[in-house]
Structure 1
């Protein structure tokens, strides 16, 4: 058997499923998962789909000690005519390889792993929810597995894909969130790992998130780590501002995650002939725009919420309410268009969706 030939071991004991109305994010997992191994001698090899099960690792596995890991997040959607669609999945695996490069990890064959994902989805397709607004969350990740406490990149890795049916991010319809601007802690700096989707970036944000949550805010808006002046991103999404009819978003500067939804929103705005500029934006500029009556909308973009309108921002003891705390017209239009394309309700003029053939 070729070292790249996919082996499939079916699960003979299917799981009991939680009713779709009770689904929470990342709590339930499907019957199968994908696994592939890497060694410096053999490269990536032994791809397989197996029953979903626990992972057994040596206590000295380097993932536990030096955090060498990257991950991705995307979704599979079931359409009204029972097709299965992915949204720009090639972008996720391209970004995964960029993250791996930053973490000194081996690259994947992007086309090959997408084919493997397609087969995994075909096997577990019954897990893709049918309820409107629901989807199957896809989590690919790579971990360093070599049992070695030396401070150097691992010589062995494992690549996994697990699947989780999830409910709608907005159970009662799209609504604005409250954001706290963080000034004490730093998420990332230029030259660090901010552009990589790696575990440490997220656990390092927990303390700031806990502080914000205690104050009644759902998310943290990060400022640059050097001057604590320029806007970077929200914990789980990129951020956009509509100021005097123009859309501005922080430019990718080496510390901001290059969001796939962010890219799609920019391309959509340009297609609509709406001015959109990527540049450095200070938090002071945004608050001044509010005082001048020019701040019209603020919204975040990401895989989970797609578009998340922001109704309130608090910075330096100053609190502002955007668009009277209501979802803006542009935010609503972007959300409906992008989710419409993702779920097949609207036509896809950009070729962004990929159908999983059953």
Structure 2
């Protein structure tokens, strides 16, 4: 039985749900589970608030921190749904294992998450595009600065109400210097340090008028791998192409869903290495029809153009884009407004 300490007052009445900034407002409660004495302890739910943590906690010094991104949705009948949460559970444990963090029990994860969502159900608003963003994460909390894995951790889940995410027109720059990850590294993991290391080169790209970087491989910078924090897809003619997952590329839940949808929609799909040169040639010939990123926050984010070594390329605006078709289909599945032939929806039952 999960222990619940309810907040004495709610912030929901003071929250402007029509003007939310992504990831800035948080719900009334959070889930916490501690790893001590060699085991994870039963999750508890407490009022959302600051943590008291030792300055020598190893997360600050050696970066043992991983996280996930998920969403909950409310349909027209007030039912609460998640989208493929088992994938997120498996991935946070894969990320944890790579950073020598103990894996979290499945029953603790789902019992804690569902209890939290039912408690915060009023924060999940109906309407296409509205959702509750869910952030599970793990940090090393043991005090001490010796360079070794911690023996104590916190697994937490916090939630933030979100509106339909639209980042405007996105132009990207193909990186020819910086790389997101290297062979044998932690690129496949949702490790906090992966994201901190992206900020500087992304800021440089923004100074040049781009919003994101398309990362290339560390060895040769010949292969395109990810766009900012998203997996990336290219449409050449009628064919859709994306890079294969590896120890450098995140195994995105939305990415896998797009690949499955493409097969069901009879869209030619190739999962293979994508070279900078072939994309440049396709753009020059007019065969490059679309580029788009995929991820939990944005679902599908169309890319309007890209730059490479000082040259800019614009992409055509299509009325029948693959990006629109995938986003519409995925969101209708997520909001229980369409058939779910894959069994991706997960109901949070009262």
Q: TM-score, normalised by structure 2?
A: 0.96
For residues 165-193 of structure 1, the C-alpha deviation after alignment (integer angstroms, 9 at most, x for no partner) is 0121128xxx6421111222221111111
The 5 Å alignment of 1:228-307 reads 228-307=221-300
User: For this pair of structures, how many residues does the alignment match?
Assistant: 349
d(CA) in 2 for partners of 1:163, 1:259:
20
Q: Does 1:340 align with 2:332?
A: yes
- Matched residue, 1:190: 183
- Matched residue, 1:33: 30
Q: Does 1:20 align with 2:13?
A: no
Bigger CA drift: 91-100 or 42-51? 42-51
- Matched residue, 2:90: 94
Among 300, 309, 321, the residue aligned to 2:302 = 309
Q: Contact 2:75 / 2:127 at 8 angstroms: preserved in 1? A: no
Report the aligned-residue RMSD: 1.4
For residues 12-40 of structure 1, the C-alpha deviation after alignment (integer angstroms, 9 at most, x for no partner) is 1222432111111011000100000102x
Q: Contact 1:259 / 1:302 at 8 angstroms: preserved in 2? A: yes
d(CA) in 2 for partners of 1:284, 1:88:
35
Q: Does 1:50 align with 2:43?
A: no
Shift of 1:154: 0.3
Q: Contact 2:43 / 2:108 at 8 angstroms: preserved in 1? A: no
For residues 254-273 of structure 1, the C-alpha deviation after alignment (integer angstroms, 9 at most, x for no partner) is 10011000000001111122
Instruction: List runs of 5+ in structure 2 lacking aligned partners.
Output: none
- Matched residue, 1:141: 137
d(CA) in 2 for partners of 1:356, 1:10:
20
Among 118, 123, 126, the residue aligned to 1:130 = 126
Shift of 1:140: 0.2
Q: Contact 2:135 / 2:157 at 8 angstroms: preserved in 1? A: yes
- After TM superposition, what 4+ stretches of structure 1 lie above 4 angstroms from structure 2? none
Instruction: List runs of 5+ in structure 1 lacking aligned partners.
Output: none
d(CA) in 1 for partners of 2:319, 2:292:
9
- Matched residue, 1:320: 313
In structure 2, the CA distance between the partners of 1:304 and 1:327, relative to structure 1 (3 Å rule), is farther
For residues 94-139 of structure 1, the C-alpha deviation after alignment (integer angstroms, 9 at most, x for no partner) is 0001101110110011243112100100001111123431110000
d(CA) in 1 for partners of 2:141, 2:20:
32
For residues 289-322 of structure 1, the C-alpha deviation after alignment (integer angstroms, 9 at most, x for no partner) is 1112221111111001111111101011121111
Q: Contact 1:239 / 1:299 at 8 angstroms: preserved in 2? A: yes
d(CA) in 2 for partners of 1:341, 1:132:
11
- Matched residue, 2:69: 73
d(CA) in 1 for partners of 2:54, 2:294:
38
Q: Secondary structure at the match of 2:322?
A: helix
In structure 2, the CA distance between the partners of 1:157 and 1:260, relative to structure 1 (3 Å rule), is same
For residues 212-233 of structure 1, the C-alpha deviation after alignment (integer angstroms, 9 at most, x for no partner) is 2122212111011111111010
